[in-house]
C-alpha cells in the first residue's frame, strides 16, 4: 500500500476512536461539562494533561527548532517541563482544596473583588485564543501534506472534529479522548526516534543514542560521538557549535524562567488539577503529567540531533560538496511543493548545498531554505523509514493539535459562560442555560479559531511569546501571592496584575509589532529579548503588589481564614462543589 | 479548623514551606544552575558521551523535575498524616 492510502486508514481509525469515546462519555450536567465529574484517576488525569499540553507546536515544531539552534533550544525543553514543578509544589494542591472550577474563580474570591475576576477572565481568554489560533493552522498543515487537500479544507475538517467532542462531550468526553490521543501521539513520536537511534548508533533508547558513537557503514562503532560530529559539521558550515548555541546567558536564563512561570500560569493547564478527586491526587497527578510529557521532551533533543546529521548528510552528500538536484531524494521535491523547502542554485552547478547564511544573500554559499516545521514530519522520509511510519506521524500530529484545541476551547467556553455570565452579568442563570451558553461559546470559539486557521495572522510565533509572557506576568504572581500571603489585598493584586501585564505587553508589542526593526539585542532591556521579558514582568508584578498592599486597607478576616483553610487537605469538598 | 490548635497549624505550614523551598532549590540548581549559569564550566566534564552542562540542559534537568514532584507528593502526604490533616 502506498503512503496515501495508509495515511487515510490510520488517521481515519484514530478519528473514529476519538469520536466514539466522545459519544460514549457525553456530559450530562454543567459539573461534568467542566470537571469530568471529579472522578478521574490521577494517572488518567496526568495522561490527559500531557495530551492537553503537547500541542501541534510541540509535536511538529519543537524538535525542528532544537535541531536548528542546538543548545539554545534548551529554553523550551527546560521551560515547558520545569513549570510543572512549580504547579505541583506551589499551586495544584491548594487550588484543588479551594475547589472551584476556574482560575478567575480563585482570583475573584481570594481578592474579594469583581474587578480582579474580570482582569483574570480577560487574561485567560486572551491567552487561550492566542494559543488556539496556531493549533488549527497545525491541523491544516498536516492534512494538506498527507491527504493532499488544501490547507483550508484541512482546517474545516479539524473544526468539525473538535466541535464534535469538545462541544458535546465537555470535560468528561475530552479527558478520555485525550488519553487516547496521548497514546497515538507518543507512539507516533517515539517510533521514528527509535528507528533512527538504532540505525545511527545501535541503541534502542534514543536518550542514550543521543550521547553515543555513530555507527559506520559496516555497523561498527566509528569512534566518533554523535554530538562531536554535529559540532564539527556545524562549525565547518559556519554555524555556532551545536552544544554551545548563540544566545546570551541572561537571555537564555530569562526565556527559560518566563516559559516555566508562564506554564504554571496557563489556565488550561491549571484547570486540570480541579478535576481530580482529592488534594493528594492533585499532587501526584502533576507528577504523572510530567512523566508523560518528559517521555516526549527528553526524546525531542535526541531526534533533533539525529535529524540534523541525517539532513545535512543527505543534502550535502558524502563528499560534503552537494548533491545533484536530479538525484536528490523525493522528500526534498515533495516539500518544495508546499513552499517549506526552497532551493536557489546560486552557483549554477545544478547541485543542492546547505550551510549557514540566507539563500538570498549572494555572499553565502547556502542554497537551501528549510522550514523548522518540516523536520518531524519529514524525518521518516529522510531516513527512508517504512510508509506506515509516515502515516503514523501524520496521525500523531493531528492528535496533538486536536487534543490541545479541545482543552483550550473548554477553557474559553467556561470563562465565558461561568466567569463572565454566571459570576458577572447574569447571576441568576440556570444550570441548563449555563451549559447551553458554554456550548455556544465553544462553538463561537471554534469558528474564530478556524478563521485564524484559514487566514493565519502570520505572527504565530510572536503571539505564543505573548501568551506565555502574559501568563507569567499576570496570573502566576496573583495566584502565588493568593496562596502564600495572607496579607496580600485586592488593591495590591490588581495593581500588580495590571502593571505586570502592561509592562510585558508593551515591551512585546513595541519590539514585535510597532518597531520590529529595533528588535536586536543592543536595544533590549538588559539584553533580554521579548520572549524572556515575562520574567521581568513577573518581578514587576510582585514588587508593585507588595508596595501597594502595604499602604492600602488590610485583607478582610474571612479571606484570611479562607487562605488558611486551603493550606491543608482535610475537608476538601468534591471536585466541583457548585 | 482542621488543626488541634494554632501551634500545630503554624508548625504544619512551616514544615510544608521548608519542604517546598528545599525542593525548589534543587529545581533551580539543576536548570538555572547546571543547565545555564554553570554550563560552560560543566561542559569541560564529559558524561556518557555528552558535555555535562549540555546534558543537564537537554536531559538531566527534566529527569530531576519528575523525581522532585514524586518526592514532594510522598513527603507532603506524610506531613498531612503527621498533623492529622489528610483527607478522609
Question: For residue A479, is pLDDT > 90?
Answer: yes
* Closest to A313 in 3D by CA, of A384, A219, A412: A384
Mean pLDDT of B58-84: 93
Residue A574 burial by CB count (10 A; 0-12/13-18/19+): exposed, middle or buried?
A: middle
**Residue to test with chain B: of A210, A569, A572, most B Cβ within 10 A:** A569
The C-alpha cell that represents A456 in the structure block:
493565519
Q: What is the pLDDT of residues A257-277, one digit of tens each?
A: 999 999 888 888 888 887 777
H-run or E-run covering A343 = strand A341-343
The C-alpha cell that represents B7 in the structure block:
501551634
Mean pLDDT of A321-331: 80
Nearest CA in chain B to A247: B36
ipTM score: 0.94
What pLDDT score does A453 carry?
75
**Residue to test with chain B: of A67, A72, A85, most B Cβ within 10 A:** A85
- pLDDT confidence band for A170 (50 / 70 / 90): low
Higher-pLDDT residue of B54, A360: B54
Question: For residue A578, is pLDDT > 50?
Answer: no
* Closest to A95 in 3D by CA, of A482, A558, A546: A482
Phi then psi dihedrals of residue A214, to 5 deg: -75, 150
Mean pLDDT of A373-391: 82
Residue A350 burial by CB count (10 A; 0-12/13-18/19+): exposed, middle or buried?
A: exposed
- Backbone region of residue A46 per phi and psi (left: phi > 0; alpha: psi in -120 to 50; beta: other values): alpha
Q: Which domains can be identified in chain A, with CATH numbers?
A: 3-311+384-566 (1.20.1730.10)
Give the β-pairing of A221-225 and A351-352.
unpaired
Q: What is the pLDDT of residues A213-263, one digit of tens each?
A: 888 777 777 778 888 888 888 888 778 888 887 888 888 899 999 999 998
Q: What is the pLDDT of residues A105-128, one digit of tens each?
A: 889 889 998 888 888 888 888 778
Mean pLDDT over the full length of chain B:
89
Count of other CB atoms within 10 angstroms of residue A94: 22
The C-alpha cell that represents A417 in the structure block:
459562560
What pLDDT score does A31 carry?
57
Return the ∠ at Cα A204 (arms to A198 and A209), rounded to 5°. Answer: 75
Question: For residue A49, is pLDDT > 60?
Answer: yes
Q: Is B3 on the interface with A (CB under 8 A)?
A: yes
What pLDDT score does A577 carry?
36
What pLDDT score does A576 carry?
47
Contact (CB<8Å) A71/B59: no
β-partners of residue A443 are: none
Q: What is the pLDDT of residues A536-572, one digit of tens each?
A: 999 999 999 999 998 888 888 888 888 888 888 887 7
- pLDDT confidence band for A461 (50 / 70 / 90): low
B56 within 8 A of B34, measured Cβ to Cβ: yes
Q: How many CA atoms lie within 13 A of A264 on its CB side?
A: 29
Q: How far is B66 from chain A (nearest CA, A)?
A: 6
In chain B, where are the structural domains located? 27-88
Question: For residue A510, is pLDDT > 90?
Answer: no
What pLDDT score does A220 carry?
76
For chain B, give the percent of residues with pLDDT over 90. 49
Q: How far is A339 from chain B (nearest CA, A)?
A: 31
Q: How far is A144 from chain B (nearest CA, A)?
A: 32
Q: What is the pLDDT of residues A400-410, one digit of tens each?
A: 887 887 778 87
Mean pLDDT over the full length of chain A:
82
Find all residues with CB under 8 Å of B35, minimum gap 6, and list them. Answer: A74, A78, A256, B53, B56, B57, B60, B61
What pLDDT score does B18 carry?
94
Q: Collapsing DSSP states into helix, strand and coil, what is residue A176?
A: helix
- pLDDT confidence band for A43 (50 / 70 / 90): confident
Question: For residue A437, is pLDDT > 70?
Answer: yes
> How far apart are the C-alpha atoms of A133 and A457, rounded to whole Å?
8
H-run or E-run covering A529 = none
Question: For residue A97, is pLDDT > 50?
Answer: yes
Higher-pLDDT residue of A393, A135: A393
Residue in the block written with cell 549540555: B54
Higher-pLDDT residue of A282, A424: A282
Residue B47 burial by CB count (10 A; 0-12/13-18/19+): exposed, middle or buried?
A: middle
Q: How far is A549 from chain B (nearest CA, A)?
A: 22
* Closest to A230 in 3D by CA, of A239, A219, A217: A239
Q: How many CA atoms lie within 13 A of A109 on its CB side?
A: 17
> How far apart are the C-alpha atoms of A477 and A538, rounded to whole Å?
7
For chain A, give the percent of residues with pLDDT over 90. 15
Contact (CB<8Å) B24/A85: yes
A38 within 8 A of A31, measured Cβ to Cβ: yes
Contact (CB<8Å) B62/A84: no
Mean pLDDT of B44-55: 85
Q: How far is B67 from chain A (nearest CA, A)?
A: 8
- pLDDT confidence band for A172 (50 / 70 / 90): low
How far lies B25's CA from each of A85, A86, A278, B22, B37, in Å?
A: 11, 12, 27, 5, 15
Q: Which of A149-153, A309-313, A408-412 has the highest mean pLDDT?
A: A309-313
Q: What is the 3-class SS of A350-393, one letter each residue? A: CEECCCCCCCCCCCCCCCEEECCCHHHHHHHHHCCCCHHHHHHH
What pLDDT score does A248 carry?
86
Compute CA A549 distance to the chain's CA centroid, rounded to the nearest angstrom: 34
Q: Which of A89, A249, A252 sits opposite B24 (nearest CB)?
A: A89
Q: How far is B31 from chain A (nearest CA, A)?
A: 7
What residues of chain A lie within 8 A of the CB of B65, using their CB? 81-82, 84-85, 290, 294
Q: Which of B9, B39, B49 sits opposite A211 (nearest CB)?
A: B49
Contact (CB<8Å) B20/A90: yes
Q: Which of residues 204-243 of A touch B (CB under 8 A)?
A: 207-208, 210-213, 225-227, 243
Contact (CB<8Å) B80/A208: no
Residue in the block written with cell 519542604: B19
A117 within 8 A of A101, measured Cβ to Cβ: no
Amino acid at each position: 500500500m502506498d503512503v496515501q492510502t495508509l495515511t487515510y486508514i490510520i488517521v481515519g481509525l484514530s478519528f473514529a476512536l476519538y469520536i466514539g469515546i466522545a459519544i460514549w462519555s457525553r456530559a450530562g450536567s454543567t459539573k461534568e461539562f467542566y470537571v469530568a465529574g471529579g472522578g478521574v484517576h490521577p494517572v488518567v488525569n496526568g495522561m490527559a494533561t500531557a495530551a492537553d499540553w503537547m500541542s501541534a507546536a510541540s509535536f511538529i515544531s519543537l524538535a525542528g527548532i532544537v535541531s536548528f539552534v542546538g543548545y539554545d533550544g534548551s529554553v523550551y525543553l527546560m521551560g515547558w517541563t520545569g513549570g510543572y514543578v512549580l504547579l505541583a509544589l506551589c499551586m495544584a494542591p491548594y487550588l484543588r482544596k479551594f475547589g472551584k472550577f476556574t482560575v478567575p474563580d480563585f482570583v475573584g474570591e481570594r481578592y474579594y473583588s469583581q474587578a480582579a475576576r474580570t482582569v483574570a477572565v480577560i487574561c485567560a481568554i486572551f491567552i487561550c485564543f492566542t494559543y488556539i489560533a496556531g493549533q488549527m493552522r497545525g491541523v491544516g498543515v498536516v492534512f494538506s501534506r498527507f491527504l493532499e487537500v488544501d490547507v483550508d479544507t484541512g482546517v474545516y475538517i479539524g473544526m468539525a472534529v473538535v466541535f464534535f467532542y469538545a462541544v458535546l462531550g465537555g470535560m468528561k468526553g475530552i479527558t478520555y479522548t485525550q488519553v487516547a490521543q496521548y497514546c497515538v501521539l507518543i507512539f507516533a513520536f517515539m517510533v521514528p526516534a527509535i528507528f533512527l537511534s538504532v540505525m545511527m548508533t545501535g541503541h534502542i533508547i534514543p536518550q542514550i543514542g543521543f550521547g553515543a558513537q555513530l555507527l559506520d557503514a559496516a555497523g561498527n562503532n566509528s569512534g566518533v560521538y554523535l554530538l562531536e560530529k554535529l559540532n564539527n559539521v556545524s562549525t565547518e558550515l559556519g554555524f555556532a557549535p551545536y552544544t554551545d548555541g548563540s544566545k546570551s546567558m541572561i537571555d537564555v536564563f530569562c526565556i527559560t524562567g518566563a516559559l516555566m512561570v508562564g506554564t504554571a500560569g496557563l489556565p488550561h493547564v491549571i484547570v486540570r488539577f480541579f478535576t481530580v478527586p482529592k488534594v493528594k491526587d492533585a499532587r501526584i497527578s502533576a507528577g504523572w503529567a510530567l512523566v508523560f510529557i518528559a517521555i516526549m521532551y527528553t526524546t525531542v533533543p535526541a531526534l533533533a540531533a539525529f535529524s540534523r546529521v541525517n539532513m545535512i548528510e543527505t543534502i550535502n552528500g558524502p563528499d560534503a560538496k552537494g548533491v545533484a538536484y536530479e538525484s536528490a531524494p523525493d522528500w526534498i521535491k515533495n516539500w518544495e511543493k508546499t513552499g517549506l523547502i526552497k532551493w536557489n542554485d546560486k552557483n549554477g552547478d545544478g547541485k543542492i548545498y546547505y550551510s549557514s547564511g540566507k539563500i538570498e544573500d549572494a555572499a553565502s554559499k547556502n542554497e537551501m531554505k528549510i522550514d523548522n516545521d518540516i523536520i518531524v514530519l519529514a524525518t521518516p522520509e529522510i531516513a527512508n523509514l517504512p510508509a506506515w511510519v509516515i502515516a503514523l506521524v501524520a496521525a500523531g500530529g493531528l492528535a496533538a493539535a486536536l487534543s490541545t484545541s479541545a482543552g483550550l476551547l473548554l477553557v474559553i467556553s467556561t470563562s465565558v459562560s461561568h466567569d463572565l455570565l454566571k459570576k458577572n452579568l447574569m447571576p441568576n442563570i440556570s444550570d441548563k442555560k449555563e451549559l447551553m451558553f458554554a456550548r455556544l461559546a465553544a462553538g463561537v470559539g471554534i469558528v474564530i479559531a478556524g478563521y485564524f486557521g484559514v487566514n493565519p495572522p502570520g505572527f504565530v510565533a510572536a503571539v505564543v511569546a505573548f501568551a506565555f509572557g502574559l501568563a507569567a506576568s499576570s496570573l502566576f504572581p496573583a495566584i502565588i501571592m493568593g496562596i502564600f500571603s495572607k496579607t496580600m489585598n485586592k488593591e495590591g493584586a490588581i495593581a500588580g496584575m495590571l502593571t505586570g501585564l502592561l509592562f510585558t505587553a508593551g515591551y512585546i508589542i513595541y519590539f514585535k509589532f510597532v518597531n520590529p526593526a529595533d528588535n536586536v539585542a543592543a536595544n533590549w532591556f538588559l539584553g533580554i529579548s521579548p520572549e524572556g521579558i515575562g520574567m521581568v514582568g513577573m518581578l514587576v508584578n510582585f514588587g508593585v503588589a507588595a508596595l501597594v498592599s502595604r499602604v492600602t486597607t488590610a485583607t478582610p478576616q474571612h479571606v484570611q481564614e479562607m487562605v488558611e483553610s486551603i493550606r491543608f487537605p482535610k475537608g476538601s469538598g468534591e471536585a466541583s462543589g457548585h | 479548623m482542621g488543626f488541634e490548635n494554632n501551634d500545630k497549624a503554624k508548625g504544619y505550614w512551616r514544615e510544608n514551606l521548608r519542604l517546598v523551598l528545599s525542593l525548589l532549590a534543587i529545581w533551580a540548581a539543576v536548570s538555572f544552575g547546571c543547565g545555564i549559569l554553570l554550563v560552560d564550566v560543566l561542559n569541560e566534564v564529559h558524561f556518557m558521551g555528552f558535555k555535562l552542562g549540555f546534558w543537564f540542559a537537554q536531559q538531566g534537568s527534566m529527569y530531576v523535575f519528575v523525581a522532585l514532584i514524586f518526592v514532594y507528593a510522598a513527603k507532603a502526604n506524610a506531613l498531612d498524616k503527621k498533623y492529622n490533616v489528610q483527607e478522609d
